[in-house]
Structures are given as structure tokens and as C-alpha cells.
Structure 1
Amino acid sequence: MEYITLGGAICAEVLGTTSMKFSHGFTRLWPSLGTLVGYLVAFALLAQTLKTMQVGTAYAIWAGVGTAAVAVIGMAFLGEAANLAKLMGVALVIAGVVVLNLGGAH
């Protein structure tokens, strides 16, 4: 169950961050509200996840997967440059999350 709530927290954070891009500095109502709701849901779900998962593991997954997802969304859909350095950076973020998880629950 903890991975389901964490996955929801990641999705909400990615939606909130993407909405922030479209808010144009919080000058557009609906994307600004999307940002607010996205982050409220993300933090609520992350808080639920932290009841049963170690904070370091949960935060590493939340931040790492969220960062990688937003970077890919930016490159795939928002016209941001996709180059080898950025793609390698995304791969390294994901690798870091995997390595942290391989450390186990000690």
C-alpha cells in the first residue's frame, strides 16, 4: 500500500509542477489552482507514505522519480532541449533511486 500512496504522491507532484509551468507565474487561475491542489495532494499522500516507509527511501523515490518525470515531460511535450547530457542526468537520477532502494530497510 505504501508504494501506491507514494505513486499517487509522485503523480500529484508532477501534475502540480506541470501546472505551475502553465500558470505563467501564477497569473492564470486554473493552472495556479492545479499547482496548489497538486502539491496539497502530493504532500498529503507523502505524509501517509511516511507512516510506514523510511523517510530517506520515500523522499528519494518521490523526489527522484518526480524530477525525472518532469524532465522527460519538458523534453517530450514542452519543447525543452533533449540532449545526451540531459538524458544521462535523468538516467543517473533513476539509478540513484534504485541504488538507495537496494540498500534495504536497515
Structure 2
Amino acid sequence: KRTATKISTEDPEVDEDPADNKPTSKGTTTAHFIKFMNEPLSVMDLDETFKGSYIVMDNASIHKFKPKLRKIESKGYKVMCLPLYSPELNPIEQF
């Protein structure tokens, strides 16, 4: 069985505003989410047993990018967004 051994956490490139030479975005962006999800999905695509698996996310606005959600679902995975203010449903919140 194949498992992910490396997940990229590198920042995606941010377009510079030529007028003032400052980044146009700060913090985690939809571009970060898209780049982050591409690698695990590529690994999951290699193993048919992952088809039909749930990908569980919180309700952060970057996780609701409809084109990416449709792409995830078109690959045979199910997307489940946790309800707002429900840390008890997310094991990482228990630490």
C-alpha cells in the first residue's frame, strides 16, 4: 500500500504589484491550498483503494474554492467540511 511520504509546504509564488513592489496577498491564500492539495491528491490517485475516501476540512474560506472542490470530487473523492465552531470533531484540536 502506498502512502504519502512528503507533503510540500513551500509557499506558492505571489505576484508582485509593479506599482509599489509589495506582495498583493498575505497569509494563507487559495493558491496555497491548491498547491498544498495537488501533491497528496497525486499520491492518492496512484492507489485505487483511496477512491471514495473522504477528505475532511474545516470551513476556512480557502477550503471552499469551488473549482478545486469539483476537481477533488471528479477524481472520485468525497469532500466533507466540518461545521463551524466544532473543534471536538477535529482530532488535531484536542492538543
Normalised by the length of structure 1, the TM-score is: 0.31
Q: TM-score, normalised by structure 2?
A: 0.33
If you compute each CA radius of gyration, which structure gives the higher value, 1 or 2?
A: 2
Q: Which structure features the higher share of strand residues? A: 2
Which fold has the larger relative contact order, with Cα–Cα distance below 8 Å and residues 6 or more apart in sequence? 1
